[in-house]
Amino acid sequence: MKQRRADWLVRFVLSAIYTEATMTSKMVIHQPQPVMVARESEEWSSGICDCCDDVPQCCFAFWCLPCFACITSEKHGECLCLPLLDGFGMIPPINMSMRVSMRQRYRIKDTMCKDCLYSTFCYSCSWCQMAREMKTRNIPIVLVSAKHS
């Protein structure tokens, strides 16, 4: 009698393990993917003049900077046409605010003074640097206030 119970218990445990293993393998459709690439660096991944790191992107920015800036802005999670407002002042406020926002998001240590200088005197290079940074950091943007229909 004890032998029968032991055999039954062993069969029960083995069938439970087999069932759990087969159910698990059938239930998992997609493995979770990392959302953020872990980076220890607190610096920009590329310099302000490292346009040769991504030549097609640099050419796009050179030939059609307004389009490039709008696309980069949208990828950052801002309004598509926001960079078009940069033409109405001495210091481009949108470029500068995007640089500050990006520094805060990626925890890059830099200064507002450099942001102001790069935004004013290296406008297209600044947009290229921000685009390269987003591409390097590979962090998907989720709009919190977006409504789903």
SS (H, E, C) 82-138: HHHHHHCCCCCHHHHHHHHHHHHHHCCCCCHHHHHHHHHHCHHHHHHHHHHHHHHHC
Of 118, 77, 71, which is closest to residue 95 (Cα–Cα)? 118
pLDDT of residue 52: 86
Q: Where are the domains of the chain?
A: 51-137
Q: What is the pLDDT of residues 69-122, one digit of tens each?
A: 999 999 998 998 889 888 777 778 999 999 999 999 999 999 999 999 999 999
pLDDT at 10 exceeding the cut of 90: no
pLDDT at residue 130 in the model: 94
Please say whether the beta carbons of 110 and 103 come within 8 A. Answer: yes
The pLDDT score that the predictor gives to residue 1 is: 64
pLDDT at 2 over 70: no
- pLDDT recorded at residue 128: 95
For 16-67, write each residue's pLDDT tens digit.
Answer: 665 554 554 555 555 555 555 455 578 999 999 998 889 999 999 999 999 9
Pair 136, 53: CB distance under 8 Å = no
- Report whether 143 contacts 119 (CB < 8 A): no
What number of other Cβ atoms are within 10 A of residue 135's Cβ? 15
Per-residue pLDDT, 141: 54
Structure tokens at 98: 């995007």
